[in-house]
């Protein structure tokens, strides 16, 4: 208990330090960072954007793995899938915090982007699919899955039973309620999975496809980004089996993580070999900067961490014991390696001229940037701990109703279908208007706030799961 309290105090102190550093940056401007002009040896996207790519990719990958488990109905993996929801929410909130820290005028961006954003902008997809729809879907999925636990806490708690009863939203644990819970779990996971994968690919495009980079290299970097994000997400999910899930679940997650880690190493090494053989001298200069130049230390450290993480995980599989200490070590190694991969892909390309004959430079994050990132990471850990420990770990048992009753599901089906149709219509209209329908390519959308219409449509479609599960039952009229 004392150790847990000490860890919470340390995390809160890091959050306070990060908040102070952000206030300093907001008051003094971007000069307190090492962000400079591209083409003069600087980088305009630095540590904050790297943190955004890391947190968001790990969160989306872990949520996608959990959705796959529920779609395949792997009952033994429920403990892993359950822990992925708070993990995803915390990671997406951390990515949003990194984006806000990177913006010199965050309030102006929060106002203008929803009003006049275009789909061709890299921020449109991250704003709508990642920061908006994926985060909302994760919160909804977590809240619905936590209702049985909150109902248990309402019965057992001596303090605030009304709060837990309110959060449970009338959960009774009947057979019909459990069947609806299973249906929502399956269909929501199946529906959200393309959204999560789409957001992960969009992030890969933001990091991999940029000006001055050959098209094939951009596509290669997108694949590497997605695979390495999957490795980071699985390494974090490995903590759940080590803590409380069945050993079989830990073995399956470890096998997937080993495969993704090995594939990440293969893609990183193959990418360097291909870049070295390209006919463009400026592109080869970027590869040499990673192998023997100013970024070589980070590059070889990344590969060493990935190899070491793979060896540790293979040793756990050989012993068939997923211990918490070794799982934490594996997660730290993989996450550190993936963070370095994000850093090198994003920053080294900028400091070495974007593949153009521009002067090379070096980007070194300042103490302000490191403090803000540490504060964001600490806040994400606190959010994860709060969400993961809000409800009991086990679901409430099924309580059969006293007598047979015939239920009328017509109203539930109609409301759910209406949410889906309305949400799809809003999403299509908002996307078309945001793309410039009925306006010239150089003009703003004819309807200000079109991105919000698109986002609202996605949120309404996600809300169909809430309507289906929470509409109260009523006997069929005779």
CATH number at residue 242: 1.20.1630.10
Question: What whole-number distance in Å separates Cα of residue 220 and Cα of residue 212?
Answer: 15
CA separation for the pair 247, 184 (Å, rounded): 27
User: Is residue 451 domain-resident?
Assistant: no
pLDDT at 211: 67
pLDDT at 408 over 60: no
- Whole-number Å distance between alpha carbons of 250 and 323: 9
CB 238 within 8 A of CB 254: yes
**Inside any domain, residue 417:** no
475 beta partners? 407
Q: Do the Cβ atoms of 236 and 228 come closer than 8 Å? A: no
CA 139, CA 403: separation in Å to the nearest integer?
35
List Cβ neighbours of 33 (8 Å cut-off, separation of 6 or more).
25, 46, 365, 366, 368, 369
Could you tell me the end-to-end alpha-carbon distance of the chain, in angstroms, rounded to an integer? 58
Q: What are the structure tokens assigned to 87, written together?
A: 């993990």
Least confident of 335-344, 405-414, 418-427, 443-452: 405-414
In this structure, the number of other CB atoms found within 10 A of the CB of residue 315 comes to: 12
Distance, in Å, from the CA atom of 210 to the CA atom of 218, rounded to the nearest integer, reads: 7
Q: Tell me which of 5-19, 242-256, 464-478 is least confident.
A: 242-256
Rounded Cα–Cα distance for residues 425 and 439 (Å): 20
- The boundaries of the domain holding residue 20 are 2-395
So what's the pLDDT on residue 400? 42
Residue 404, pLDDT score: 45
Residue 202 near residue 130 (C-beta atoms within 8 A): yes
DSSP symbols for 378-407: HHHHHHHHHHHTSS-SSPPPP---SS---B
Is the distance from CB of 115 to CB of 448 less than 8 angstroms?
yes
Query: 224 is written with which tokens?
Result: 């590497």
Does a structural domain hold residue 28? yes
Question: Is 419 within a domain?
Answer: no
CB atoms within 10 A of CB 398: 14
Whether the predicted pLDDT of 55 surpasses 90: yes
Mean pLDDT of the chain: 83
Which one, of 316, 239, 291, lies nearest residue 84 by Cα?
Answer: 239
Q: Is 307 helix (H, G, I), strand (E, B) or coil?
A: helix
How many structural domains is the chain composed of? 1
**Which residues does residue 407 pair with via DSSP β-bridges, in sequence order?**
475
Q: Is residue 474 part of a domain?
A: no
Helices (H) and strands (E) in the chain, counts: 18, 0
* CA–CA dist 381, 359 (Å, integer): 40
Return the bridge partners of 322, or none: none
Q: Is residue 466 part of a domain?
A: no
Q: CA 143, CA 185: separation in Å to the nearest integer?
A: 12
For residue 160, being part of any structural domain is answered with yes
Percent of the chain with pLDDT over 70: 89
| Residue 184 lies inside a defined structural domain of this protein | yes
More confident residue, 61 or 5: 61
Per residue in 89-122, pLDDT tens?
999 999 999 988 888 777 777 787 788 778 877 7
């Amino acid at each position: 208990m004392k150790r847990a309290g000490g860890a919470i105090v340390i995390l809160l102190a890091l959050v306070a330090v990060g908040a102070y550093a952000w206030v300093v940056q907001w008051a003094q401007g971007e000069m307190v960072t090492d962000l400079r002009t591209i083409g003069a040896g600087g980088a305009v996207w630095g540590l904050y954007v790297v943190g955004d790519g890391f947190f968001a990719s790990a969160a989306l990958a872990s949520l996608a793995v959990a959705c796959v488990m529920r779609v395949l109905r792997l009952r033994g993996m429920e403990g892993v899938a359950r822990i992925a929801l708070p993990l995803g929410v915390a990671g997406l909130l951390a990515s949003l915090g990194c984006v806000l820290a990177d913006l010199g005028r965050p309030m102006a961006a929060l106002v203008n982007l929803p009003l006049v954003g275009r789909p061709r902008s890299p921020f449109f997809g991250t704003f709508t699919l990642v920061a908006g729809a994926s985060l909302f879907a994760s919160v909804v999925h977590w809240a619905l899955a936590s209702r049985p636990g909150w109902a248990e806490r309402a019965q057992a708690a001596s303090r605030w039973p009304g709060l837990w009863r309110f959060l449970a939203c009338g959960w009774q644990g009947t057979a019909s309620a459990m069947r609806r819970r299973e249906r929502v779990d399956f269909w929501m996971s199946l529906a959200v999975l393309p959204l999560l994968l789409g957001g992960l690919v969009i992030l890969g495009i933001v990091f991999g496809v940029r000006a001055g980079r050959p098209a094939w290299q951009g596509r290669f970097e997108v694949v590497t980004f997605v695979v390495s994000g999957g490795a980071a997400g699985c390494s974090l999910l490995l903590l759940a089996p080590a803590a409380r899930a069945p050993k079989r679940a830990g073995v399956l997650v470890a096998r997937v993580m080993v495969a993704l880690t090995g594939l990440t190493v293969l893609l990183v090494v193959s990418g360097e070999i291909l870049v070295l053989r390209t006919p463009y001298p400026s592109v080869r200069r970027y590869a040499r900067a990673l192998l023997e130049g100013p970024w070589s230390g980070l590059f070889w450290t990344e590969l060493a961490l990935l190899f070491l993480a793979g060896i540790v995980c293979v040793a756990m599989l050989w012993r068939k014991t997923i211990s918490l200490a070794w799982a934490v070590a594996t997660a730290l190694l993989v996450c550190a390696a993936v963070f370095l991969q994000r850093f090198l892909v994003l920053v080294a390309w900028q400091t070495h001229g974007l593949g153009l004959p521009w002067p090379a430079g070096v980007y070194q994050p300042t103490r302000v940037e490191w403090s803000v990132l540490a504060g964001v990471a600490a806040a994400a850990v606190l959010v994860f701990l709060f969400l993961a420990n809000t409800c009991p770990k086990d679901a409430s048992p099924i309580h059969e109703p006293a007598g047979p009753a015939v239920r009328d599901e017509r109203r539930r089906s109609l409301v759910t279908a209406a949410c889906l149709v309305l949400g799809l219509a809003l999403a299509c209209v908002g996307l078309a208007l945001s793309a410039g329908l009925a306006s010239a390519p150089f003009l703003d959308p004819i309807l200000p706030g079109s991105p919000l219409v698109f986002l609202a449509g996605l949120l309404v479609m996600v809300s169909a799961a809430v309507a289906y599960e929470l509409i109260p039952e009523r006997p069929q009229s005779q």
